[in-house]
Structure 1
Amino acid sequence: MERPHWTAAGASPESSTRETVERGDYETVERRVLVIGAGAAGARTAIELVEQGVDPEDLLVVGKRGHGDAHTTWARGGINGALGTHDPEDDWTVHAADTLNEGHHVNDPGKVETVTKRMPGLLRELDDWGMAFSRTDDGEIDQRYFGAQSFRRTAFAGDHTGESLLDTLVERAQALEIPYRENLFVSDLVTDGGRVLGAAAVDTDTGEFVALDAEVVVLAAGGYTSLYRRHSSRDDENTGDGPALAYRAGADLLDMEFVQFHPTGMVGNRYGEEWDGRLVTEAVRGEGGRLFNADGERFMERYSPDQMELDARDVVARAIAQEIEEGRGTENGGVYLDISHREREFIEERLPRMYERFADLGVDMAEEPVEVAPTAHYGMGGVVVDDVGETAVDGLYAIGETMAGVHGANRLGGNSLAETIAFGEATGQAVAERLAAGGVDSGAEDRAVDFRERTETRFADLAALSGRDGTHDPEALLDEVREVLWDHAGILRDGEGLATALDELADLRERAADLAVGDRTDRSFEFALDLGFALTVAEATVRGALEREESRGAHVRTDHPDTDPEWRRSVVIGRDSVGAMRVDTAPVGTPSEAVQAALDEGYELDYHQLE
């Protein structure tokens, strides 16, 4: 089926918003709100703005890929919300308690409540908008177990939930005639005096510079896990754009050391390098999949006898890594994930994408196991924002995987899609209120001059980068960044390795000053920009990991193996007076009385009730 498209308003030379600025060879587009990122978070924000009364012509959504092509589509397993379809005793407070427990209590409790309170209504809204949820026999939205959840609260559309979600949101945005511009790579945010003025971008089809003048900018540009050698993202997604753009603009970063390694990525030595690290959805385990080592042992009995394969992702990922490290892995460097005890019809219905993928690779999931190993999957860290997503830079918001605070030290499976639409709604409402109150006079002469001058400076830098006849290939250096993080800031870390990583990143930064780059339509130009983002975000990740001298959630320091109660606080990365990275810590909040009561109840999944 052909995927739905956004309205491509504002993209043609005839558009009324386009004007040629004589002082520079670039296009200028003016909007009140610019949304950077066209996945679920960006789409839901734009939808909320229009539903709150903002004229669609006052906003623009930009994506660096084609229509409907966002990383959201790779989120397969489900989206959380306490509907109580199967377990009526579930409610938003238990969802919040599970999220805080999974996050090892360094989450922002207020942001957790924003997500968990909103999600039941937002799931029903998606249902009203036509999302193809899987159904119970009674026609209700079906829900399944996911790791570390006390009840069945993960709604799903087979094993293609993210794809179905984005299709639904894009169709809604299209119906609302929300303007969208594709293949725009945002290289810089433009700021002055602590306020955002817009962004500088390059059209990767034409090489043309585009100045995006906006009162408000919403960053929904994803996370940073493809900066690891083995990861579940596409190589050109989750390269740290959002956190790096915000940091350069003056915002702080939070808890960048917390990187989730999903337990079950495909094994490249078995299925081909192009498949290495690609996600095997947690839904396989949620539907009863079992893990075995090469000796045929169901090894989770040793690590988590009560929750087994449905324990928290960090627990299962470390267990698999330990089995492989101790020589009980397969000859290809993985372990076995087996759901063949289920009926073929069940697997085909509940896990259609997984079944088809492995069938295409010559593996029948109904008859034999697949080989899996941990893969970098999600960055819990990101940009510091307030309760509605605004950063310390006036008018700059960050949501989705770009922001920090919801997930703490380890993300609860099914909460990533939930966060995107919950904060999409919350931030959209806040920005609409801001605009209704007057906002910034986008036509003010001094502001226009500031924006033009600063944007032209960015474009001059980009022009100097393109066509550069240097020594080093930016794609090769980007791959080296991935090796550094995988080797020294992966599942297991120590102080010595992290210090080595900082030295290696400094060397890479020096070499990055001497790049060989093609013109602005060449992929090497994009890789050069990605490399700049990557170096910033990789350094923040390593410095955060070096600072946190304990093990908590997804962050494991082998030289500090215990969880230290004194470290129940966040690591903040900012810029000092000379522009270098500054590392501080900040306290975390306390849950509301309602959520604390749910925590005190001690809800927990007992896996054996599924047997």
Structure 2
Amino acid sequence: MPSYDTHTYDVLVIGAGGAGLRAAIEASAHGVSVGLVCKSLLGKAHTVMAEGGIAAALSYVDDRDNWKVHFADTMRGGQYLNNGRMAELHAKEAPERVLELEAWGALFDRTKDGRILQRNFGGHKYPRLVHVGDRTGLEMIRTLQDHGIYQGIAVHMECTITTLLKEEGRVVGAFGYEREKGRFLVFFAKAVILATGGIGRAYKITSNSWEYTGDGHALAFHAGAELMDMEFVQFHPTGMIWPPSVRGILVTEGVRGEGGILLNNQGRRFMFDDIPALYVNQTADNEEEGWRYTQGDKNARRPPELLTRDHVARCIVREIKEGRGTAHGGVLLDISWIKKKLPHAEDHIRKKLPGMYHQFLKLADIDITRQPMEVGPTTHYIMGGIRVDADTQMATVPGLFAAGECAAGLHGANRLGGNSLSDLLVFGKRAGEYAAQFAKENKSVTISGEHLDQYSREALRYFETEGADNSFQVQADLQDMMQDLVGIVRNEADMLRAVEELKKLKERAANVRVTGNREFNPGWHTALDLQNLLTVSEAVTLAALERKESLGAHFREDYPDRDEKSGKFNIVIRKSEEGWMELRQEALPELPAELQHIINEMK
């Protein structure tokens, strides 16, 4: 059997995006040894693609903002399916985490009097997003990476984890391999933190990078942890549709925050046609008022383009389905129109949205200062994930923690833009703190060589199968199926078909044939990733079938309305003893009176 490179740490962090880096920094600060594993190169995590900003109620631009308003916005955006304690902690602690990031060297955009500048974003009542042009995620990663390296955290780049190690009823490490050479790796740890991001690569059109194959969700599920809210997949309303060179690439909500408008093929701002009752009093009813809002007028109401992402995405789908879309199946997002309002609009756009301007000019030959973009919904984020304790971020299996997109609870049925980056900071910090505490209170445990041999045999079996399929084709077929049958608009018939298709895809995935050897073999990597993609795809589909209502990002055309009775539970998934997915409905806990009072007050 193969040999193993073995490493031992007090805390092992899997994933080196914003949540993973912040968790590793915090654990290290508590005096324990920390290992950090990343699937790609350090600094290349998908967090770098987060463009709009970090949501934090600093109140530097509008002094009416505070943590209570942020809390209420988050709960309302999540359709009150959120974990109230997580939403409270997030709103209270986000400002401190942002100022901490600044102290570590992050360079945020400033107001004229030198304070941190904050911009408008969908679903947020006041200007709240701290930003660096439209490169905020990159600045966050740069800052956290530099700080983490300075602390001496051990980093293992280009490594994939395939199994979590368990002994004595708790997680005690992880098994994986080095992507470049194919060597197997064993990590022993007293606590493990999952910070692996999302599941976007289960879909055909996605803004997510290649690493987002649901690794953390699947690792936790197979280790016995519970998943929650998996039906809630967010389709960002503005991903590029055309040209093919940029298909799926995200167009930051910051474009709309700076005055960008959505137009159908008739040149009409269709977002004025459908404003939810929940937001009528906060939403502009004319173009001029919406423009004043984006320019910082405190007395104006926000434009309808800045409603929550689920609503904007469904409005775009409606225009396309009813024949008012563009030739390539999208709508137009236009920021160049502000030339009517600002004398130096082109300079303003290049200054506020430098990444957008340069990216689309170079990759698509589109000058956003002069012409609109063709956009449509793209798979962007999953609100569901590993069920964790709100305060400690520990999963339902001792020794296992999770933070960031792979953890559930904060966002409920729909995430507000900008809350993802503050989520990474707030709960990455908490995961690191409590994982370090757990490590100090528990002893190390090793795993027998027999178990390790079994894990390596499972990983290598694709070189020995007789199947005719290749892993790339199976993944493409899975992505097509999920896009068509479990996408932005769902119904029971399609999802029952998806369940049957998943059974066939599982059989094909188990028998894909990998040729060559373990070095530099993307076919092998894809075969291993497929198991995770199938696990999360099944969880999304079964949970979506179970929730017979439309709520937040989950829209069913056969149940188009929210059901006040059924919309009061989370769907929890666990692995049965036979290996099946067991689903149960779990009633939402009652909010403490003081938090309910805040929500009632803000309404």
Q: Is the aligned partner of 1:45 residue 2:23? A: yes
SS of the aligned residue for 2:565 comes to helix
Counterpart of 1:341 (choices 337, 347, 351) is 337
Aligned residue in 1 for 2:286: none
Letter in 1 for 2:414: N
Query: Is 1:476 aligned to residue 476 of structure 2?
Result: no
SS at match of 2:97: helix
Q: Secondary structure at the match of 1:512?
A: helix
Residues 381-392 of structure 1 mapped to structure 2, 5 A cutoff:
381-387=384-390, 388-392=392-396
Match of 2:488 among 487, 491, 496: 491
Matched, 1:326 2:322: yes
* Cα distance in structure 2, aligned partners of 1:149 and 1:594: 21
Question: How much does 1:178 deviate?
Answer: 1.0
Within 2, Cα distance between the matches of 1:290 and 1:45? 38
Asked whether 1:413 is paired with 2:445, we answer no
Alignment pair present for 1:551 and 2:550: yes
Three-state SS of the structure 1 residue aligned to 2:336 is coil
Q: Give the paired residue count.
A: 567
Q: Tell me the residue number matched to 2:365.
A: 362
Mapping of 1:89-168 within 5 angstroms?
A: 89-168=64-143
Structure 1 residue matching 2:337: 3-state secondary structure: coil
Counterpart position of 1:315: 311
Q: CA deviation at 1:42?
A: 0.5
1:221 aligned to 2:196? Answer: yes
Pick which of 67-76 and 426-435 moved more.
426-435
Cα deviations by residue, 1:323-379 (Å, 9 ceiling, x for unpaired): 011000111111111111331111111100001122222222112111101111000
1:28 CA drift (Å): 1.1
Q: Does 1:237 align with 2:211?
A: yes
Indicate if the aligned counterparts of 2:459 and 2:528 stay in contact, CA closer than 8 A: no
Consecutive unaligned residues in structure 1, runs of 5 or more: 1-22, 604-611
AA aligned opposite 2:335: I
Kept in 2, the 8 Å contact 1:194–1:250? The answer is no
Aligned counterpart, 1:353: 355
Return the offset for 1:192.
2.6
1:271 is aligned to 243
Shift of 1:24: 4.7
Which residue number corresponds to residue 225 of structure 2?
251
How many angstroms does 1:75 deviate by?
A: 0.6
Instruction: Give the CA deviation at 1:472.
Output: 0.7
1:608: which partner in 2? none
Match of 2:268 in 1: 297
TM-superposed CA distance for 1:469, in Å, is 4.6
1:396 maps to what in 2? 400
Cα gap change, 1:475/1:168 in structure 2, threshold over 3 Å: closer, same or farther? Answer: same
Alignment partner, residue 10 of structure 1: none
Q: Distance in 2 between matches of 1:284 and 1:538?
A: 31
Note the C-alpha offset of 1:65: 0.6
| Cα distance, 1:280–1:563 mapped onto 2, change above 3 Å | same
d(CA) in 2 for partners of 1:432 and 1:561? 45
4+ runs deviating over 4 angstroms: none
Offset at 1:467? 5.5
CA positional deviation for 1:462: 1.5
Residue 520 of structure 1 is matched in structure 2 by: 518
SS at match of 1:391: coil
Distance 1:538 1:434 in 2: 32
Which residue of 241, 250, 254 corresponds with 1:283?
A: 254
Q: TM-score, normalised by structure 1?
A: 0.91
What letter is aligned with 1:587? A
Q: CA deviation at 1:591?
A: 3.3
Deviation at 1:601, TM superposition (A): 2.7
Q: 1:98–1:77: structure 2 CA closer, same or farther, 3 Å change rule?
A: same
Cα deviation code 1:248-305 (max 9, x no counterpart): 11011101010000000001xx312x42111000000011100000001110010127
- 2:503 aligns to what? 506
Give the C-alpha shift of residue 598 in structure 1.
3.0
User: Following the alignment from structure 1 to structure 2, what is the Cα–Cα distance between the partners of residues 467 and 40?
Assistant: 38
Contact kept in structure 2, 1:46 and 1:428, CA below 8 Å: yes
CA contact (8 A) 1:221 1:401 kept: yes
How far off is 1:86 after superposition? 1.2
Output aligned runs, 1:58-69, within 5 Å.
58-69=33-44
Equivalent residue for 1:7?
A: none
How far residue 147 of structure 1 moved from its aligned partner, in angstroms, is: 0.3
Measure the CA separation in 2 of the matches of 1:461 and 1:575: 19
2:296 is matched with which residue?
none
Contact 1:31 1:214 in 2 (8 A): yes
Query: 1:98 is paired with a residue of what secondary structure?
Result: helix
Q: What is the TM-score normalised by the length of structure 2?
A: 0.92
Query: 2:246, 2:29 → 1: CA distance?
Result: 40
**Correspondent of 1:175 among 141, 145, 150:** 150
Q: What SS does the corresponding residue of 1:27 show, helix, strand or coil?
A: strand
* Structure 1 partner of 2:290: none
| Maintained 8 Å contact 2:190/2:438 | no
Letter in structure 1 aligned against 2:21: A
**CA-to-partner distance for each residue in 1:63-102, whole Å, 9 max, x for gaps?**
0111211000011111110000111121111111101100
Structure 2 CA distance for aligned equivalents of residues 49 and 580 of structure 1: 35
Output one character per residue of 1:165-204: Cα deviation in whole Å (capped at 9) or x when no partner: 0000001011111110101111111113421121111111
Unaligned runs of 5+ in 2: 284-302, 339-344
CA–CA distance in structure 2, aligned partners of residues 147 and 466 of structure 1: 48
Displacement after TM superposition at 1:451 (Å): 4.4
Would you say 1:453 and 2:450 are equivalent positions?
yes
Taking structure 1 as reference, are residues 135 and 591 closer, same or farther at Cα in structure 2, changes over 3 Å only? farther
Tell me the distance in 2 between the aligned counterparts of 1:199 and 1:431: 15
Do the aligned partners of residues 146 and 117 (structure 1) sit closer, same or farther apart at CA in structure 2, a change above 3 Å counting?
A: same
Q: Distance in 2 between matches of 1:83 and 1:128?
A: 15
Cα offsets for 1:23-45 (capped at 9, x unmatched) = 75111111111100011101000
Q: In 2, Cα distance between the equivalents of 1:144 and 1:406?
A: 22
Deviation of 1:602 after TM superposition, in Å, equals 3.1
| 1:49 to partner: Cα distance | 1.2
Asked if structure 2 preserves the Cα contact closer than 8 Å seen for 1:222 and 1:400, the reply is yes
Q: What amino acid maps onto 2:595 in structure 1? A: V
Q: CA deviation at 1:468?
A: 4.2
- In structure 2, what residue type is equivalent to 1:379? I
Describe the superposition over 1:380-412 as per-residue Cα deviations: whole angstroms up to 9, x where unpaired: 000111121111211011111111001111001
DSSP-derived class of the 1:515 partner: coil
CA RMSD in angstroms, aligned pairs only:
1.4
